[in-house]
Structure formats: C-alpha cells, structure tokens
C-alpha cells in the first residue's frame, strides 16, 4: 500500500485568510489616520494663512491710519489760521494693498477761550474691509519751547557771530540758517574744567557748521561743544517761520481789532465777554515800564510817559487774591477804565518804543498743588512799525523756578511768567562813559524781529568796557543774531558772557498770546482698540 502525502502539511488556509483581512484593516486604518491628520494639518495651515493675511491687512490698515493722522497734522500746519470748526478729510491711497483713510479733525471745546488751539485728529484706515483707528491730540506750538532760536546766524550787517567756550546754552536750540549763514562755534578756549557749550539738542535747517580751531574729529572733541557729543545736533531740519507781526498781541491788549485810540496815554481795557477774557493794557506812544510787587504780593505796573514838566505816570495794580485790577494816574488816556474784574488777556502792548523796562514779576496764586491764578504777562511793541524794548536793569521772577524739580514743586507753582516781543530788544550797559557791563539777569522769553522785519537781541556798547555775565532764564528768539560781547583767544574781553537756561514751563504754559511757530506739538498718540 502506497502512503498518501498531504502537500498542504503545516499550512492552515483558514488562518491565512484571517491574516490577510487583518492586514487590510490595518492599512485602511493607517490610511484613514494619515488622511485625517493631513486634513487637520491643511485646516490648520489654511487657518494660519487666513490669520496671517488678516494680521497683514490689519497692519496695513494701521499704517494707512497713521498716514492719515500725519496728513491731518500737515493739513493743520498748512492753514493760514487755525480752523474754528471740525473738519473731515478723505483720500484714496493708490499703493497695494489698496486702502483709504478718513480723517476727522475735532476742535477742542476750550478753543474759543484760549490762544493756543488744541485739536483731536481721529484717523481711520481701511484695507480690504479691515479698519484700524488712530487718535492724535495736538496743540499749537509756541516759541516759548526754545532756549535759543535764530532765523539767521549773522548780525544785521551780515558779519559772523561766534559761540565760544565761555557760553552756556542749557535748553533746546534751533536756527533756520537761511541766506547761506551758518553756526560759528569756537571751542578753542575749552579746557578740562569747562562743560560743553550746548547742554541740550541743537537743530538747524542748514547743512553745515563752522568750527574753530577745526571740525571735531573725535567724540571727545564733539563733547567739548555738545553735551551729547556727535549726537547733540541735527542738520537739515524744516525751516520754522517767525510771526509776521504783533497784530495778535495788539488785538489782545485792546480787546478788539478796531477803534484803537490815537491820543497818547495808558488804557486799561480788561473785560470778560461770555466767559472769555478780552483786552488788557494798551499804551499809545513811547513809555517806560517798571514791574514791581507790593507788600501784599500784588503785581504793580508803573508806566511813565514824557519827561520833565510834561511827564505823566500811571499805576496799574493787579490784585492776585481776587483777580481784580485798578488803574490810576495822570497818564491814563481818555475813556480808560479805572477798575476791572481781571487783567484779562495779560497782554501789555505799546504802539511806541518801551524806552526802559526792569523790575520783578509777582508770584502766582496756588493751592493744593495747582495754580489757581496766574501772574503771566506778555509785553509787546509794534514790530512792523520797528518799535523796540530797552531793558535797563534786572527783570526777574519774585520766585525763581527750578527745572530740576517736579512741576508741582513750590518754586514752579509760585514762579510767574513773562514774554517780550519787539523789533529789537536792547540790553543797556551801566550807563557810564566807560560802558561797563554789570552782571544782569532776565527771566523771560524774548522775541526780536518778525518774518518781514529784521530784529535782534543785543547789548549796548558790547565791544567796550568791562565784562559781566548775562543770565537769561527763558529763551532768546531773534531773526538775526545780536552781539552781546567780543572774544579774544576764545575768551570774552568786552560785553557779556552768555548763561542761557531754558524754562520748560514756557513750552507747556507760555506767556499769554505769545507768538506761535506755525507747528503743532503732539500731546498724545494712541491706537483705538477695535
């Protein structure tokens, strides 16, 4: 008998069929998982792309809104007069991605009662349906923000005037440097115990500076001139125009733009209409002015006109406890008030020359860390009529402010405020035939000249007599540089050495109706949340 051999020994067909099924299920499951993960990844990638695109569009919309806000500032700057009503500006931006902005310029509710106008600029940028909003608050800028400003860095005769190492300018400096003029800086007399000439930022519209003995070639050389070394100055800055006249100050003193008196005299014209202060003190003709403080801390303004037997005097007293003003004396013009409920605008305007000016500015009234009544004055003459102011003695605040302390420190709350405007501001010597120059202090911001009339701040007989130091707390603004002294070998040999310090209060709270720069300071900037 032949044996039968099973050729399928060791192989189970049922088991093989089950194994193939399991494998197919595993492959199908893995494929499903891969497809699911891919779908999730694609979904996440798509969402990320959409989010990124959205963020890019929002970022573009924000940039468009910022551009609109800047355009709003430029629009304000280009206006001949600050707008008195709200304005809307719309413009299409033709760059990709295509977008547009709208700008609303909103007048501050106090604008009809204050000289420095403030505006809210609300800019909305839109790009492909996405919008962002930016809010900027701006206010007119005043020349009180400068420690030193010139339109030209030469004298009225065109000669160069040099800064030297004995000078000290502690505050912002700007020069338009027009007509090919230049900064002239002589640091030849510098020595290790001296500080730099300029202790704050220097800006100029010109493109070069002339130095002696040479242009600084190292950072240590620059630090002899600028506190911040080679970073202490910027050139090529936009020109800032001086005001065309003192018409605004004239109107502020009279309280109107018509009906000005023609009879020589002093006119108190202070009043209040619908909560708005109008008028101040108007002087027809030449006058000498002395500022003083009485035993009660009140501001007294003594004005003298004429001389000899024809001399007349008026006394104006501003009572800081109740804000009232009284006027008396033979120099009062016909129809002048003898009393008022305030000093109103705080402007003293003269149609003639102020032949003599000196004295003390009374303190503010203050309480609880705030000023309750300002002792603030602007004294101005007719710049277009080429009328001048001569300072023949110290002109100081009763309390000297201290910029190293907080704004609510007692000294800064108490200190008054003063501004001067004229074609020329002359600083007298000691009046002797030797023309010596005793130390002198002037606490005020001074502006000489205009955009149409050359003017300067200068010292009488600056090139003769002994030397002193001219200390100015405030600022000097002039169309052409006036000489205050002469130098030899890098040192003062006649006239005055300069000690000019900035009063930062004047940028925020300048003297009343003090001329503006035509620019706008940004008080705040923020992105408005969606």
Indicate the Cα dihedral angle 147, 153, 155, 157, nearest 10°: -160
> Which tokens belong to 331?
């120099």
Tell me, what's the pLDDT at 412?
A: 95
Q: Which segments in the chain show pLDDT lower than 50?
A: 1, 8, 15, 92-96
Is 160 in contact with 185 (CB distance < 8 Å)?
no
Tell me, what's the pLDDT at 95?
A: 47
Query: Which residue in 291, 293, 362, 301 sits closest to 331, CA to CA?
Result: 301
Q: What is the pLDDT of residues 176-226, one digit of tens each?
A: 987 667 888 989 888 876 789 999 999 999 888 889 999 999 999 999 999
Tell me, what's the pLDDT at 273?
A: 67
Distance between CA 98 and CA 100 in Å, rounded? 7
Is 197 in contact with 500 (CB distance < 8 Å)?
no
Tell me, what's the pLDDT at 275?
A: 65
Q: Name residues whose C-beta falls within 8 Å of residue 387's C-beta, 6 or more positions apart in sequence.
A: 350, 351, 352, 353, 354, 381, 422, 423
Alpha helices in 301-409 (DSSP H): none
> Which tokens belong to 225?
């001139």
- Residue 102 vs residues 73, 86, 88, 89, 228: alpha-carbon distances, Å: 13, 13, 7, 6, 41
- Domain ranges for the chain, please list them: 58-141, 241-517
Query: Which residue in 465, 317, 461 sits closest to 390, CA to CA?
Result: 461
> Which tokens belong to 20?
């193939």
pTM, to two decimals: 0.83
Is 515 in contact with 445 (CB distance < 8 Å)?
no
Q: What is the pLDDT of residues 325-348, one digit of tens each?
A: 999 999 999 999 999 988 989 999
Tell me, what's the pLDDT at 166?
A: 83
Query: Which residue in 345, 347, 150 sits closest to 246, CA to CA?
Result: 347
Distance between CA 184 and CA 212 in Å, rounded? 8
> Which tokens belong to 426?
């002359």
Alpha helices in 475-518 (DSSP H): 505-508
User: Which residues on adjacent β-strands are paired with residue 120?
Assistant: 106, 137
Tell me, what's the pLDDT at 13?
A: 53
Distance between CA 82 and CA 73 in Å, rounded? 12
Q: What is the β-pairing status of strands 440-448 and 417-422?
A: parallel
Tell me, what's the pLDDT at 17?
A: 54
Is 422 in contact with 388 (CB distance < 8 Å)?
yes
| Class for the domain spanning 58-141 | alpha beta
Query: Which residue in 436, 355, 359 sits closest to 393, CA to CA?
Result: 359
Alpha helices in 456-518 (DSSP H): 505-508
């Amino acid at each position: 008998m032949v044996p039968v051999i099973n050729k399928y020994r060791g192989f189970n067909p049922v088991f093989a069929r089950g194994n193939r099924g399991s494998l197919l299920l595993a492959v199908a499951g893995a494929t499903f998982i891969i497809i699911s993960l891919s779908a999730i990844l694609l979904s996440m990638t798509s969402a990320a792309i959409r989010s990124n695109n959205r963020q890019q569009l929002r970022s573009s919309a924000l940039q468009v809104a910022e551009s609109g806000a800047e355009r709003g500032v430029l629009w304000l700057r280009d206006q001949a007069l600050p707008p008195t009503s709200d304005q809307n500006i719309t413009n299409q931006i033709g760059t990709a991605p295509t977008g547009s902005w709208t700008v609303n310029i909103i007048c501050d509710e106090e604008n009809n009662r204050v000289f420095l106008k403030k505006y809210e600029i609300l800019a909305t940028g839109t790009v492909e349906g996405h919008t962002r909003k930016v809010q900027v608050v701006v206010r007119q800028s005043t020349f009180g923000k400068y420690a030193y400003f010139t339109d030209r860095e030469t004298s009225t005769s065109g000669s160069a005037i040099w800064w030297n190492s004995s000078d000290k300018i502690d505050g912002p400096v700007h020069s338009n440097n027009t007509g090919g003029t230049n900064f002239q800086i002589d640091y030849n007399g510098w020595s290790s115990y001296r500080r730099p000439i300029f202790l704050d930022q220097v800006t100029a519209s010109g493109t070069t500076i002339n130095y002696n003995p040479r242009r600084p070639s190292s950072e240590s050389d620059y630090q002899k001139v600028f506190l911040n070394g080679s970073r202490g100055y910027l050139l090529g800055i936009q020109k800032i125009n001086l005001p065309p006249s003192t018409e605004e100050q004239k109107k502020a003193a009279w309280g109107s733009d018509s009906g000005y008196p023609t009879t020589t005299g002093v006119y108190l014209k202070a009043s209040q209409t619908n909560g708005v202060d109008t008028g101040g003190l108007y002087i027809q003709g030449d006058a000498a002015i002395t500022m003083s403080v009485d035993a009660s801390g009140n501001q007294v303004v003594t004005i003298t006109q004429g001389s000899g037997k024809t001399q007349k005097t008026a006394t104006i007293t501003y009572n800081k406890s109740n804000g009232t003003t009284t006027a008396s004396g033979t120099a009062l013009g016909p129809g002048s008030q003898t009393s008022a409920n305030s000093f109103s605008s705080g402007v003293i305007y003269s149609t003639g020359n102020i032949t003599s000016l000196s004295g003390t500015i009374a303190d503010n009234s203050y309480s609880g860390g705030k000023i309750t009544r300002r002792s603030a004055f602007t004294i101005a003459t007719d710049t277009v009529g080429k009328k001048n102011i001569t300072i023949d003695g110290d002109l100081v605040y009763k309390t000297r402010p201290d910029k190293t302390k907080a704004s609510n420190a007692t000294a800064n709350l108490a200190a008054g405020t003063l501004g001067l405007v004229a074609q020329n501001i002359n600083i007298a010597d000691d009046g002797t035939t030797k023309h010596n120059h005793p130390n002198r202090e002037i606490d005020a911001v001074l502006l000489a000249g205009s955009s149409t009339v050359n003017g300067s701040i200068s010292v009488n007989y600056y090139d003769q007599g002994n030397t002193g130091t001219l200390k100015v707390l405030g600022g000097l603004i002039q169309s052409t540089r006036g000489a205050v002294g002469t130098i030899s070998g890098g040192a003062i040999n006649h006239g005055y050495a300069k000690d000019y310090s900035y009063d930062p209060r004047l940028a925020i709270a300048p003297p009343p109706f003090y001329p503006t720069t035509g620019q706008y300071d940004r008080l705040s900037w923020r992105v408005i949340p969606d």
